Structure 1
């Protein structure tokens, strides 16, 4: 649509996940029209991210060192591991300030349609972390979709160790939601995960 380099910029931005053609165009024109936009700084940060950021040797979270700040934190409980699909899920859980244990990032979810099997994920590393028997609970916090459920089911069957409790995050109705708009699966899970009402 546009001449030369402007279209190349839009095309490159459009390759990012969650950025459609219209969003890519808006971002491109924001960069073009905003004189205070520091393109040099953006390119430096992108280069630094590529060069410096890696995945934690222990849990698979993003870090600039060999291990992430969560794995290095002596205040974290080492008896509980929360298994997530992606590093961004760690941030979402950390924002709740409810979980005080460690994490394990799988690097995705089992998806036969996309050609992703258990060997393509960081499952062997998880099993290795459980080998000494010090972990007493593994919390499966995979996404509540088909791939996440398949991954959780696979891990539940795999992690049948003595003295290890494998739990799944509760799922159900969102706060502020209406029952009439909830699908059958969500409503069914809400019934399965019901608990005692508190005063």
Structure 2
């Protein structure tokens, strides 16, 4: 029904997170209608990003230079490493503007079901970074999922050979959350992580 070019565009768009085949068709149609204002600039931006963006060899962030801007910023606290699963998690923490240390992107979590083991993640590189004398704390900012917690325990075990304090992000009641709407796991974590008022 559609030309091969349009079908290829729809198939590629459908591979993006949150887009299924129908949503991909709608996006493709919208792009075609806004060819000059959206499709052409988007194609140029994608080409430029594919050409210029690379993975930081130190932390795993995405940037146009290697090492990335975060790793080379002299104002960063060199004593603290924040471990995240994916680059999107790093970007989320950076948006808060509250963490001034360095990051380490694991590239995922351990998952026996998906066949992802320790060698598939950058855990060995993390241990090497944590051995540096200036590093005193490693913060585990991993998702509160079964895989995230499994990965956190494994990483903690691997870091016992390093002279660092290992901490993790607090879990519990979100700001603006109402107790009646929270699940039992979140409430249990909040009670365990309570602190003086």
Deviation at 1:131, TM superposition (A): 2.1
Moved over 6 A (4+): none
Tell me the equivalent position of 2:128. Answer: 128
**C-alpha separation in 2, matches of 1:134 and 1:112:** 34
Asked if the contact 2:130/2:162 (under 8 Å) is kept, the reply is: no
Deviation at 1:162, TM superposition (A): 5.7
Q: Which moved more, 1:128-137 or 1:72-81?
A: 128-137
**C-alpha separation in 2, matches of 1:36 and 1:132:** 51
* Aligned-residue CA RMSD (Å): 1.5
- Deviation sequence 1:23-63 (CA, Å, 0-9, x none): 21221111122254342322222122222211111111111
- SS of the counterpart of 1:16? coil
- SS of the counterpart of 2:82? strand
* 1:33 is the counterpart of 2:33: yes
- SS of the counterpart of 1:75? coil
TM-score (ref. length: structure 1): 0.92
How many pairs align? 196
Unpaired runs of 5+ residues, structure 2, are none
Unpaired runs of 5+ residues, structure 1, are none
* Aligned ranges 1:1-199 → 2 under 5 Å: 2-4=1-3, 5-161=5-161, 163-197=163-197
- Deviation sequence 1:158-193 (CA, Å, 0-9, x none): 111464110010011222222122111111101111
Q: Identify if the C-alpha distance between structure 1 residues 46 and 119 changes in structure 2 by more than 3 Å, giving closer, same or farther.
A: same
- Deviation sequence 1:94-120 (CA, Å, 0-9, x none): 111111100001111111111111110
TM-score (ref. length: structure 2): 0.93
- SS of the counterpart of 2:76? coil
